[in-house]
Chains A and B, each alone.
Chain A
Amino acid sequence: MAWTRKFLRVNLTDGTIKTEALNMDWAREYLGQRGLATRYFVAEVDPKVDALGPDNKLIMTTGPLTGTMASTGGRYSVVTKSPLTGAIACSNSGGFIGAEMKNAGWDMIIFEGKAPSPVYLYVENDHAELVPADDLWGKSVWATDELLHQKYQDPQLRICCVGRSAEAGCLYSAIVNDLHRAAGRSGVGTVMASKNLKAVAVRGTKGVGNIKDPIRFMKTVAEQKKVLADNAVTGAGLPKYGTQVLMNVINEMGALPTRNMREVKFEGAHAVSGEAMHEPRKSDGKPNLTRNAGCFGCTIACGRISTIDRGHFSVETKPEYWGNSGGLEYEAAWALGPDTGVDDLNALTYVNFLCNEDGMDPISYGATVAAAMELYEMGVITQEDTGGIELKFGSAQALVAVTELTAKGEGFGKILGLGSKRMCEKYGHPELSMTVKGQEFPAYDPRGIQGMGLTYATSNRGACHLRSYTVSSEVLGIPFKTDPLATEGKPELVIAFQDATAAVDSSGLCIFTTFAWSLENIAPQIDAACEGDWSVEKCAELGARVWNLERDFNMRAGLTSADDTLPPRLLKDGANTGPAQGKVAGLAEMLPKYYELRGWTTEGQLTPETRARYGLPS
């Protein structure tokens, strides 16, 4: 079983909390986390709902393996309608709060309505209450976490909350848990703040039981942990270098989007790379990286814990930032670094700290700053707009200054909080927004890695690498090597990655296991824990079902095939150098085939046959 079979429904408008039984028919079809929460969401929310209105709901959800002894079994997801994209949002986070929620006896928490004044939800096993949070409103994530820990005097209390950026309406605000893990993308934190919900604090001491076949589960979990340990990526590369090992890889192959994706190689990439994080600083002899870190139950531990040089201009008068905190991961380092042209590792680490401290998605944030820098260089944005900040590409001072504003929703930070799409539209240059469905790109140029172009264009939550990470195959050769410059075979590859990812995201496990595991390794763990037959085939079908359900919601929300596209810069301007020089993203060569393989019409709509195949609600 592994499910607790019950969830909390919190009505913020009238302040009531109810316990409900989990719909086990849906659990057998959608498993948990991303899949199951999406099933609840589409059943309960009008797709045309105002994302920031009280009728939108926000679901925090675990998977059946969350909180178990399975490696990486600490994931939770937040499902809602995104204010950034108008599409369904599903943001996934590690850390410890997901496992804590499960240990308290809950598979999910559904939040609905809007509290008349700020509140937080406190959960201690069966006890759940809404508590006034007027004293927390206006506080950062880090301050909120500290105040709640002081109040309850329990170091094991796990907290997720929103920061000042979300309160100020920044459209890509995250929900940060355990200080520096985040349900980061698509503005799920903005939705949470719109409901006057500041935080969720959870303590669970029940343990996670209900395992269908405990002996088989323990045996298969132990076998699969050995696979992770013996694998060069999950056993050695990720713990030592983290995701930041990619900075030099992607730059060398000429697919590192640079200066708002005008270029594909960054001359300063090495200075902000995973290797550079290990190099001793001249000032104090210490490297940027202090140590790696793992989330609940993780045997990979790719997380980065870093410090900033105390003499660096960004923190020399701010001792509160001299300690260790969550360091740079690749996507954040790219958006804050190469995309803005800044090659100052200390500045990027500080800005990343601020993104954690006040809950901003560093990908969307960095990419928005990059677009603003291009507009500034064109003279469209001026110092009058920025309040005197010289917002030039490559300026660490400017990056630091605008981040301090955006984190608190002040001055020009209000404009940056709109995200790249709305900001570029406001200044009359929508073509300079490097977004799909209003969400900013991550760190791979689709002219040099063609599968990522199709990935971005078809992602149900807007441009994102975590919906189908074909980089694994096209660049890294996992599970097999494909040509990054070819479009042939990519629709099939993207679909396989999309479906497998949706299955993993519904289980409670981390997608990073798939550098060593396939569904062949994952399905037996689910099958030993959960009632029903969870074969590899059924897991792949589950992924496809989830993908189609998300797509269906988006179509009903008013999105069309015209939204499955890329910015003109990537479709018309060839890459400026490297192996992809002169090449554009070959989306037109891939998209029709993708629709056909998905069983959709040429307009990208689900057919009745596809709907029937996956048993989707009509």
Chain B
Amino acid sequence: MNITLKLYANLSYLLPVHAKHNAVQVDLLEPISIHHLIDLYHVPREQAHLVLVNGVFINPEERDQVDRLKQGDVIAIWPPVAGG
């Protein structure tokens, strides 16, 4: 299963060096939860404040579900940020 992982703002430094535009392609051999995925990239869970899958916000309680990520999904993560 292929997905795209994007880490933004103060999480950018956790991306591998070959990442482009804050994104990496991730090959998953088996379905994993969002929490499992962000643990693999050493993103502190409390820093994964805004988690969007295909642009839709994922509540913290959904992030342990192993079937939440599907083939081709784009998951984008931010620490607490704001602006305007």
**Once the chains bind, are A248 and B55 in contact (CB under 8 Å)?**
no
Check: B26 CB closer than 8 A to any chain A CB: no
A232 to B79, CA, bound (A): 8
Chain A residues within 8 Å of B74, by CB: 252
Contact with B55, one of A237, A241, A275, A579 (Cβ below 8 angstroms): A579
Q: Mask for A222-243, Cβ within 8 A of B = 1, else 0?
A: 0000000001110011101111
A481 to B54, CA, bound (A): 18
- Given known contacts A252-B76, A253-B52, A578-B55, is B9 in contact with A476 (CB within 8 Å)? no
- Which chain B residue lies CB-closest to A241? B9
- Identify which of A35-43, A136-144, A166-174, A465-473 touches chain B: A465-473
A472 to B50, CA, bound (A): 12
Check: A249 CB closer than 8 A to any chain B CB: yes
| A328: min CB distance to chain B, Å | 11
- Which chain B residue lies CB-closest to A514? B82
Check: B21 CB closer than 8 A to any chain A CB: yes
Greatest chain A CB density within 10 A among B12, B74, B81, B82 is at B82
| Chain B interface category by residue count | 20 to 34
**Once the chains bind, are A469 and B56 in contact (CB under 8 Å)?**
no
Contact with A275, one of B8, B50, B83 (Cβ below 8 angstroms): B8
Contact with B9, one of A254, A275, A329, A579 (Cβ below 8 angstroms): A275
**Once the chains bind, are A249 and B81 in contact (CB under 8 Å)?**
yes
**Once the chains bind, are B82 and A472 in contact (CB under 8 Å)?**
yes
Greatest chain A CB density within 10 A among B59, B80, B83 is at B83
| A597: min CB distance to chain B, Å | 24
- Given known contacts A275-B8, A477-B49, is B80 in contact with A253 (CB within 8 Å)? no
**Once the chains bind, are B84 and A469 in contact (CB under 8 Å)?**
yes
A252 to B59, CA, bound (A): 17
Secondary structure at chain B's binding surface: helix, strand, loop or mixed?
A: loop
**Once the chains bind, are B81 and A476 in contact (CB under 8 Å)?**
yes
**Once the chains bind, are B84 and A330 in contact (CB under 8 Å)?**
yes
Contact with B82, one of A240, A329, A478, A484 (Cβ below 8 angstroms): A478
Check: A246 CB closer than 8 A to any chain B CB: yes
- Given known contacts A252-B6, A270-B21, A275-B12, is B54 in contact with A579 (CB within 8 Å)? yes
Chain B residues within 8 Å of A275, by CB: 8-9, 12, 22
Check: B10 CB closer than 8 A to any chain A CB: yes
Check: A1 CB closer than 8 A to any chain B CB: no
**Once the chains bind, are B82 and A254 in contact (CB under 8 Å)?**
no
- Which chain B residue lies CB-closest to A581? B55
A466 to B84, CA, bound (A): 8
**Once the chains bind, are B83 and A330 in contact (CB under 8 Å)?**
yes
Check: A419 CB closer than 8 A to any chain B CB: no
**Once the chains bind, are B56 and A476 in contact (CB under 8 Å)?**
no
Check: B41 CB closer than 8 A to any chain A CB: no
Check: A517 CB closer than 8 A to any chain B CB: no
Greatest chain A CB density within 10 A among B9, B57, B78, B81 is at B81
- Given known contacts A237-B79, A331-B84, is B57 in contact with A248 (CB within 8 Å)? no
| A49: min CB distance to chain B, Å | 31
- Which chain A residue lies CB-closest to B21? A270
Chain A residues within 8 Å of B49, by CB: 232, 477
| A232: min CB distance to chain B, Å | 4
A326 to B38, CA, bound (A): 36
**Once the chains bind, are A246 and B52 in contact (CB under 8 Å)?**
no
**Once the chains bind, are B22 and A243 in contact (CB under 8 Å)?**
no
A445 to B52, CA, bound (A): 17
Chain B residues within 8 Å of A548, by CB: none
A245 to B80, CA, bound (A): 11
A270 to B81, CA, bound (A): 16
Q: Mask for A115-128, Cβ within 8 A of B = 1, else 0?
A: 00000000000000
Q: Mask for B50-84, Cβ within 8 A of A = 1, else 0?
A: 10101111010000000000000010101111111
Chain A residues within 8 Å of B52, by CB: 252-253
Check: A274 CB closer than 8 A to any chain B CB: yes
| B52: min CB distance to chain A, Å | 5
Chain A residues within 8 Å of B22, by CB: 248, 270, 275
**Once the chains bind, are A241 and B81 in contact (CB under 8 Å)?**
yes
**Once the chains bind, are A233 and B80 in contact (CB under 8 Å)?**
yes
Chain B residues within 8 Å of A600, by CB: none
- Given known contacts A248-B22, A252-B55, A253-B55, is B9 in contact with A240 (CB within 8 Å)? yes
- Which chain A residue lies CB-closest to B80? A232
A446 to B56, CA, bound (A): 15
A270 to B19, CA, bound (A): 13
Chain A residues within 8 Å of B76, by CB: 248, 252
Contact with B80, one of A237, A242, A244, A252 (Cβ below 8 angstroms): A237
Contact with A243, one of B54, B55, B59, B84 (Cβ below 8 angstroms): B84
- Which chain A residue lies CB-closest to B22? A275
* Listed A/B pairs (25) with beta-carbon separation below 8 Å: A232-B49, A232-B80, A236-B10, A237-B10, A237-B79, A237-B80, A238-B83, A240-B9, A241-B10, A241-B81, A243-B84, A245-B8, A246-B81, A248-B22, A248-B76, A249-B8, A249-B78, A252-B6, A252-B52, A253-B57, A274-B83, A275-B12, A330-B84, A483-B57, A578-B54
When A and B form their complex, which 4 residue pairs have the shortest distance between CB atoms, in order from nearest?
A243-B83, A232-B80, A246-B83, A515-B82
Listed in ascending order, the chain B residues whose CB lies under 8 Å from chain A are: 6, 8-10, 12, 21-22, 49-50, 52, 54-57, 59, 74, 76, 78-84
Can you name 16 extra interface pairs (CB under 8 A) apart from A232-B49, A237-B80, A241-B9? A237-B10, A237-B79, A245-B83, A249-B50, A252-B52, A254-B55, A270-B21, A302-B83, A329-B83, A466-B84, A472-B82, A475-B57, A476-B80, A476-B81, A483-B57, A578-B54
